[in-house]
Structure 1
């Protein structure tokens, strides 16, 4: 249950301001479990995908939902206008360490002003418009990271955030919403270098929900060892540490086009999604040419009884032609799961995933290697040393 303080003495002592139209909310999610993972690579992610792998059983954090805590607030300014902010920190419940490479509010940190009639303008560290409109109609909306595509290559599991960004999100007009984001690259003399921009739109009315989005990041850099794409510069989210995309960390640019839809049948929700991800090389890229990935998936969630839900999903990822790679990389990914609600705030879950990879890809140094599996891995060092990998997690999630 979220805890609300409305003009409480605590807020008076912290802010020195009292308003009957102001509110501050403390919220969070704690998710922990035991996870089995097969064929886990024993060496660090790098240029050798052929390292030996072994099965591993360990405590894990954020299996169904990333563990986090946050504070958000809103003040009514009158006339339908309001001031707002949100600060959100991720953490690993198994060791207490902060997530997002140690950022204090690495998940989100922004403030802005909004209107019920005209929409909301926010500034800070934020998710892109593609995340805002497509992620809610993707499998990750139902089962979190287990629904992510290989290496979260299309960013629908919100692996990456954009620093130094300004974002507009419209009000809802007859079920339609739209938005755009621009992330400043911070490079003197250039508005393009290391910038990120995105646009998106969504429609929701009755049982049907649809989302589309486009996102582009520039990676202009000073040398081949500088491999931080614009939206990942600053606080590193580890996006390019997964075996599927580690060979494209030096790309000149990245482009993502994604769309998805869900339909609520009552006891069941069914959905489809499609993404296209492209990397282009530049003068200092370790890989040359142009690389593209196409991802398509179907998924569904069934409510057998009010407290019990089952999930199933399948996605297929196919890489395009890459210079030096003979066979295109392919990834088949299957996800199954069950969740049982103990209360409105607490639930237990059992999730499983299997992935099979084939063909070839690039390693972190731009050399051709055999593609290896990477189930539910977003740069966390759990990529496989083999073509196949399975993962099973049982755990508890509590919301507050």
Structure 2
């Protein structure tokens, strides 16, 4: 009897150890509020829109943050080794249906984001070691996104503002990426990333019907130093044989990251457009200092589209200045301003400016209410070929994390 009890206790102990070595966490964020959008296109055409729920985004409905649902797992393999995974999807709770139509799995107009689950935000497996670092394979944030948003007081929100400028035309998430993160030493962390798009190509002979002799690829590296209240970081990314995501005037007005507006004007506002850019280079440098009562930050960014000739080449660049002020244990105010410019063929095309103000009041550790204002201004330097655009958004809402 005593032996049986001893064996049972031993099995229970081993089961407890195994359970401690592996864990899975369910997490998420829901952002809901009311937003107002005003667009002034060349002082002639104006557009106003009120949204209840949150601004639409393939990365999750929300006014400040994209709503999401995620699963995170980690297993201790012993000897300092570990394995893990992250599966994170966007949540579109507005469901993209008409206001008077019941929410269904498919919108009556066949619109995107018609289902509750939107784009894959992250989906990768990882293998790491305490001495040698970690390797991640799969869909994940671009190093450019993580590095630049680290100096944005609001961390790249859905609402227009500074992020609409330093992320303009960039890729914030890659679906086929490999990322290596070295162990942090003396406050310094190095990360490198490479991505492909999986496009079939042909190296000789007839090109197959489903093959394209170009391929979108990127390579990037980031370095940051954190010591006490000081943070300094930099990022460099190079995309090669890149198919430009050309924006329209309406998309240009939205100022959202990834619509290719900066690429459109850079490679030819007058209509000279190259569908494939031989290379696009992006680099940024940032710094912040936490003074407890206020945290100032600065970020310089520069993106150059290198076309087949000068007519198809240009740059977007600027400087972000940000402040974070915790006015009390519950109330935090953030503000940012970005001034920049867009050039084509060494000629100024736009002077750009973005600003953002957000007040967030925490009701608990997981729930907060907020009010915010953001604007992005594109002032044309060549009125005969490009239009000036002003984009403004106002919002109030709440965020809950779990």
* Residue equivalent to 1:213: 235
Superimposed CA distance per residue, residues 358-391 of structure 1 (whole angstroms, 9 cap, x where no aligned partner): 12589xxxx942242xxxxxxxxxxxxxxx3321
Q: C-alpha separation between the residues in 2 aligned to 1:112 and 1:198?
A: 19
Pick one of 126, 129, 142 that aligns with 1:112: 126
- Of 384, 390, 393, the residue aligned with 2:392 is 390
The answer to whether structure 1 residue 301 and structure 2 residue 324 are counterparts is yes
Partner of 2:275: 250
More RCO (CA 8 Å, sep 6+): 1
**How big is the alpha-carbon RMSD for the aligned residues of Structure 1 and Structure 2?**
3.3
- Tell me what 2:25 maps to: 25
Following TM superposition, by how much is the alpha carbon of 1:55 offset from its aligned partner in structure 2, in angstroms?
A: 2.0
Q: How many pairs are equivalent?
A: 338
Q: 1:270 aligns with which of 265, 279, 296?
A: 296
Matches within 5 A, 1:244-393: 244-247=262-265, 250-252=275-277, 253-282=279-308, 288-322=311-345, 327-360=348-381, 368-372=385-389, 388-393=390-395
| Cα shift at 1:293 | 1.1
Over 3 Å counting, the alpha-carbon distance change for 1:311 and 1:220 in structure 2 is closer
Q: Could you list the runs of 5+ residues in structure 1 that have no partner in the other structure?
A: 1-17, 42-48, 229-237, 373-387
Match of 2:90?
Answer: 90
Post-superposition shift, 1:111? Answer: 0.4
Residue deviations 1:70-108 (CA, integer Å, cap 9, x gap): 101000000111001101111223227886999866111
CA distance in 1, matches of 2:115, 2:234: 29
CA separation in 2, counterparts of 1:310 and 1:50? 32
Aligned partner of 2:207 in structure 1 is none
1:166 to 178, 182, 186: 178
Preserved CA contact (<8 Å) 2:144 2:172: no
2:177–2:195 Cα contact (<8 Å) kept: yes
Query: How far apart, CA to CA, are the structure 2 residues paired with 1:66 and 1:40?
Result: 25
2:65 alignment partner in structure 1: 65
Matched, 1:144 2:157: yes
Q: 2: CA distance between counterparts of 1:147 and 1:299?
A: 15
Structure-1 residue corresponding to 2:13: none
Match of 1:384 in 2: none
Q: Aligned partners of 1:359, 1:166: CA distance in 2, in Å?
A: 39
Note closer, same or farther for the CA distance 1:100–1:113 as it changes in structure 2 (3 Å cut). farther
Contact kept? 1:140, 1:147, Cα under 8 Å: no
SS for the counterpart of 2:120 is: coil
Shift of 1:212: 0.5
Match of 2:148 among 113, 134, 137: 134
Query: Is this contact kept in 1: 2:71–2:86, CA < 8 A?
Result: yes
CA distance in 2, matches of 1:162, 1:105: 12
SS in 1 for 2:158: helix
Change (3 A) 1:36 1:132: closer
Matches within 5 A, 1:68-79: 68-79=68-79
CA offset digits 1:44-74 (Å, max 9, x no partner): xxxxx88822222222232221111110100
Please tell me whether Structure 1 or Structure 2 has the larger radius of gyration of its CA atoms.
2
Q: Mean alpha-carbon deviation: is it higher for 184-193 or for 108-117? A: 184-193
Structure 1 residue 131: Cα displacement: 2.7
Q: Distance in 1 between matches of 2:301 and 2:154?
A: 14
In structure 2, the gaps of 5 or more residues are: 1-17, 55-60, 97-104, 106-111, 204-212, 247-255, 268-273
**Cα separation, 2, equivalents of 1:56 and 1:162:** 31
- Whole-angstrom distance in 2 between the partners of 1:125 and 1:68: 15
Cα pair 2:162 2:376 within 8 Å, conserved:
no
SS in 2 for 1:117: coil
Other structure's SS at 1:370 match: coil
State the secondary structure of the residue aligned to 1:267: coil
Question: 3-state SS of the aligned residue for 1:66?
Answer: coil
